C-alpha cells in the first residue's frame, strides 16, 4: 500500500516516512536505506533520513558511516533524544576527540544531556586526548588534558592517576601527592594507592608503612586502605598491625586476597602451616569477588581501565565494581 501511494502521489515529502516505516516493518534494509537517502534530500525530512541512515549503519556494524550520518542529524536537531549520546559514543570509539568536545559544547548549550552525564563524558574524552598525547611523547600536553579531565569529574580515578603519574615524572611530587590524597578521601581506589606508593620509590619497609598511613588517614574506613596498610606492615614484619588491618578489611570486604594475606601472616609470624591452610580454605568458600572494572554493556571484567571496553568496544562503560 505504501508503494502504491508513492507511485500515485509522486511526492516523496508526503510518502517518504510512510514507505520508510513500511520497509522497516518488512525488514527490507536495502529499500529502507534508499528511502532514508531520499528523505535527506528534503528539508522537512532530512533529520529523519540522516538519523535512519545512522541507525542502519550501526546495525550493519559500519561505525564510520554511522558517525557521519549521526553528525549530520545532530546538526539539524541537537536536542533529539538519545542522539548526542549516540554520536559521542561513535566519536570516542573512533578517537575523534576534538569533534566529541564540540558535540559536548553543543549538548551543554541545548541541555541535550544531564549535567552529571555531560561531566563524565567530558572527562572520558579529555582522558582519551591525554592518552593520545602521551602515546605521541607529548607529556606536557598529556598532563594538561589529564588535569582537565580531573577538573571535569574530580572522582574520575583514571584521570587523577594519570595526572599524578605525570607530575611525578616531571619531579613535582608534592602536586602529585595533593591530587592523590584529595581523590582518595572522596573515592578510595587501588590506582590511587599505587600512585602514592610510587612517590616513595626506594624507601625502607618502615618508611613505606608511614607513607601508607598518611594516605589512609584521608579515608580511614576504606577497605583498600586497610589492605594496603596490612601489606606494608607485613613487609616491615609488624605482625600485630598487619593482623589488625586485615581483620578490618575482612569485616568490610572479605576477598580472596584478604584471606591469602591472613594465611601469609600465620606462615611468616608463627610458622603455623595448619592455621594458614584454614585461611586458604576459607578463601575458596567464604570470599567474595575482587573489585574490578566491569563493562555495563557486555559484563566483561578487566583489572585495568580503558576508554573503550576491551571485549565489546563500548566506550565509557567500564565502572569499578
Q: What DSSP line would sit under 13-36, residue for residue? A: HHHHHHHHHHHHHHT-HHHHHHHH
Asked whether the beta carbons of 277 and 285 are under 8 A apart, the reply is: no
Is residue 27's pLDDT more than 70? no
How far apart CA 189 and CA 158 sit, in angstroms, is: 10
Looking at the structure of the chain, the number of domains it has is 3
Whether residues 217 and 157 share a domain: the answer is no
The crossing angle, in degrees rounded to 10, of helices 173-186 and 190-198 is 160
Pairing of strands 301-302, 318-320: unpaired
Whether residues 148 and 256 share a domain: the answer is no
Whether residues 52 and 31 share a domain: the answer is yes
Asked whether the beta carbons of 225 and 249 are under 8 A apart, the reply is: no
In a domain, 299, yes or no: no
**pLDDT tens track for 216-226:** 999 999 999 99
Pairing of strands 293-295, 301-302: antiparallel
The residues near 118 (Cβ < 8 Å, ≥ 6 apart) are 104, 107, 108
In a domain, 231, yes or no: yes
Whether residues 16 and 74 share a domain: the answer is yes
All three cell numbers of 260, joined, read: 591469602
Q: Report percent pLDDT > 70 for the chain.
A: 91
In a domain, 264, yes or no: yes
Residue 280 domain boundaries: 207-290
What is the CATH number for 276?
Answer: 1.25.40.10
Angle at 133 between CA 129 and CA 139, to 5 degrees: 125
Whether residues 100 and 7 share a domain: the answer is yes
Whether residues 170 and 215 share a domain: the answer is no
Query: Distance from CA of residue 6 to its chain's centroid?
Result: 47
How far apart CA 263 and CA 230 sit, in angstroms, is: 12
In a domain, 27, yes or no: yes
Whether residues 197 and 221 share a domain: the answer is no
In a domain, 191, yes or no: yes
In a domain, 300, yes or no: no
In a domain, 321, yes or no: no
Whether residues 193 and 217 share a domain: the answer is no
Whether residues 18 and 97 share a domain: the answer is yes
What are the helix (H) ranges across 170-203?
173-186, 190-198
Give the confidence band of 17 by pLDDT, cuts at 50, 70, 90.
low
The pLDDT of residue 188 is: 97
In a domain, 298, yes or no: no
How far apart CA 261 and CA 272 sit, in angstroms, is: 14
The pLDDT of residue 5 is: 63
Whether residues 1 and 103 share a domain: the answer is yes
Q: What is the mean pLDDT of residues 233-240?
A: 97
Q: What is the mean pLDDT of residues 158-173?
A: 97
The burial class, CB within 10 Å (0-12 / 13-18 / 19+), for 167 is buried
The pLDDT of residue 301 is: 95
Whether residues 177 and 142 share a domain: the answer is yes
The pLDDT of residue 30 is: 82
Amino acid at each position: 500500500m505504501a508503494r502504491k501511494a508513492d507511485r500515485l502521489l509522486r511526492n516523496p515529502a508526503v510518502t517518504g516516512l510512510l514507505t520508510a516505516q513500511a520497509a522497516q516493518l518488512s525488514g527490507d534494509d536495502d529499500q529502507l536505506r534508499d528511502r532514508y537517502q531520499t528523505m535527506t534530500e528534503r528539508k522537512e525530512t532530512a533529520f529523519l533520513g540522516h538519523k535512519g541512515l545512522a541507525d542502519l549503519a550501526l546495525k550493519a556494524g559500519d561505525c564510520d558511516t554511522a558517525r557521519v550520518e549521526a553528525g549530520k542529524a545532530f546538526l539539524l536537531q541537537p536536542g533529539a533524544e538519545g542522539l548526542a549520546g549516540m554520536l559521542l559514543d561513535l566519536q570516542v570509539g573512533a578517537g575523534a576527540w576534538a569533534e566529541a568536545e564540540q558535540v559536548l559544547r553543543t549538548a551543554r548549550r541545548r541541555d541535550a544531556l544531564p549535567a552529571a552525564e555531560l561531566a563524565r563524558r567530558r572527562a572520558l574524552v579529555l582522558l582519551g586526548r591525554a592518552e593520545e598525547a602521551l602515546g605521541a611523547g607529548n607529556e606536557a600536553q598529556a598532563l594538561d588534558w589529564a588535569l582537565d579531565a580531573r577538573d571535569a569529574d574530580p572522582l574520575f580515578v583514571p584521570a587523577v592517576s594519570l595526572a599524578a603519574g605525570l607530575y611525578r615524572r616531571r619531579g613535582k611530587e608534592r602536586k602529585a601527592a595533593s591530587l592523590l590524597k584529595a581523590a582518595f578521601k572522596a573515592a578510595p581506589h587501588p590506582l590511587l594507592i599505587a600512585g602514592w606508593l610510587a612517590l616513595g620509590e626506594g624507601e625502607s619497609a618502615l618508611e613505606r608503612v608511614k607513607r601508607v598511613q598518611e594516605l589512609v588517614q584521608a579515608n580511614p574506613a576504606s577497605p583498600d586502605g586497610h589492605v594496603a596498610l596490612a601489606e606494608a606492615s607485613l613487609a616491615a614484619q609488624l605482625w600485630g598491625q598487619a593482623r589488625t588491618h586485615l581483620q578490618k578489611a575482612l569485616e568490610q570486604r572479605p576477598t580472596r586476597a584478604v584471606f591469602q594475606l591472613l594465611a601469609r601472616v600465620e606462615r611468616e609470624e608463627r610458622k603455623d602451616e595448619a592455621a594458614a591452610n584454614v585461611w586458604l580454605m576459607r578463601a575458596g568458600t567464604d570470599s567474595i569477588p575482587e573489585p574490578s572494572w566491569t563493562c555495563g554493556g557486555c559484563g566483561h571484567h578487566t583489572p585495568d581501565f580503558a576508554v573503550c571496553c576491551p571485549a565489546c568496544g563500548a566506550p565509557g562503560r567500564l565502572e569499578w565494581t
